Structure 1
Amino acid sequence: MRILICEDSALLREGLVRLLEDAGHTVVAALADADGLAGAKSLAEAVAETDPELCILDVRLPPTHTDEGIRAALALRSAHQGLPVLVLSQYVEERYASELITGQAGALGYLLKDRVADIRDFLDAVERIGAGATVLDPEVVAQLLTRRARDERLARLTDRERSVLALIAEGKSNQAIAQALFVSEASVEKHITSLFQKLGLEQDEHGNRRVLAALVHLEHGDHTDPTFRNGALR
């Protein structure tokens, strides 16, 4: 896979380059910022020139280290619809996760930087995002679930259904969910059908995006916006 990296920490940037290339990927560019502040190409220029199949960005980039990375990610998803984007963050920042999820369609990842240390899981996430999946860090999923835990629709879910919901939102397949919960795939399918019904969502091949949309929908406390019911995030 052709991958572009935008990360201001030289240590992490070079570590990602080596990790990804050792795994058989090609790093087409490794930038320290999104705006070409160090005299290199800007992120937009580098993407246009190298045509990556996945972009990995830090949430906080120079010069202010506030939201440059997330704004760059949103701009990429708007200008290059369908381009998979993986955002790395030092901490769980729900607002940024929500902005990404409710933005343009396309494969998406939002992971904590600590996850990079688990090489197997990180590379698996990279592969899944590159293949079109949506993968959220378990900590982000947990916060999205608990912040609106009293919502009447989430309250209808059983403990097992909430566990399945969290794993779906992390981008897990039915097989992976079954293995994680030590149940059969048939049981997982039944739980998914039930929780989709309780959340008022249609079940289809874009189920994980619908669940993510529902979580953000509940997080914002808006039960009337039809955007999330029409599959706009597919």
Structure 2
Amino acid sequence: MTRVLVVEDDPQLVRALVLNMRARRYGVDAAPDGTTALRLAQARRPDVVVLDLGLPDMDGVHIIRTLRGWTRIPILVLSARRASGEKVAALDAGADDYITKPFSMDELLARLRAAVRRTETEPDAAAATLVTTDDFTVDLTAKKVRRSGRDIRLTPTEWHLLEILVTHPGRLISQKHLLREVWGEARGNKTNYLRVYMAQLRRKLETDPSHPRYLVTEAGMGYRFEG
């Protein structure tokens, strides 16, 4: 049974989350504050954490950083904070996804299922050297991309961006993280760089670059690869 730790101080929302998750055969523990959440995470070893950032005793970003000190379990942030800076801070601390309140229960459960699937396939994904989609393949060992039977030439920068995204399928990668990894700390706020290079990648790889299927933008936050 997949076990979920819900960290939320709104009793009505906790009740709704617990009922919906248990109806879908998840095991659920709930924590109303950060201290309880960290204790339960150590004791119960959940498979996924659903975390509100605004807790009574500590900020949710601190909880993310603490968890990331010892575990790679998926962390789905569920928060009323809408500012892009807040979202980026949570993602850079190690959150895997960010859902803004108010939210659709169906969407949350879909994101939860996706996080569980990624965890289940992670060992194989780590060992894999070939990423295959319906439209192109990425050979991580040979550093080659093929589409429609022919090699697609990528610049070193395009390749670096693509490599980061395809090796973290389904995970939301923040703009700041991508900029730091590809261009270094000095270019950490040059989001126009990302827009230009992501547009180039989409022109080379997407069937309809204006409506990307694989290289998806999460406005104000970052990008994710949907394989």
Q: TM-score, normalised by structure 2?
A: 0.57
Equivalent residue letter for 1:44? L
Higher strand share: 2
1:216 pairs with one of 156, 168, 176: 176
1:131 aligns with 2:145: no
Distance 2:155 2:15 in 1: 42
1:52 aligns with 2:53: no
Counterpart mapping for 1:10-159 below 5 A: 10-27=11-28, 29-35=29-35, 42-63=36-57, 68-78=59-69, 80-104=70-94, 108-115=96-103, 117-119=104-106, 121-132=107-118
Identity %: 19
1:206 pairs with one of 134, 144, 167: 167
Q: Name stretches of at least 5 consecutive residues in structure 1 with no aligned partner.
A: 36-41, 134-173, 176-184, 229-234
Distance 2:45 2:155 in 1: 37
Distance 1:195 1:210 in 2: 23
Question: What number of residue pairs does the alignment pair up?
Answer: 162
Higher helix share: 1
CA distance change for structure 1 residues 198 and 15 in 2, over 3 Å: closer, same or farther?
Answer: same
Equivalent residue letter for 2:98? Y
CA distance change for structure 1 residues 131 and 223 in 2, over 3 Å: closer, same or farther?
Answer: same
Partner of 1:186: 135
Partner of 2:127: none
Return the offset for 1:198: 5.9
Q: TM-score, normalised by structure 1?
A: 0.56
Computed over aligned residues only, the root mean square deviation of the Cα atoms, in angstroms, reads 3.8
Q: Name stretches of at least 5 consecutive residues in structure 2 with no aligned partner.
A: 120-131, 139-146, 189-227
Equivalent residue letter for 2:72? G
CA contact (8 A) 2:81 2:87 kept: no
Distance 1:207 1:196 in 2: 20
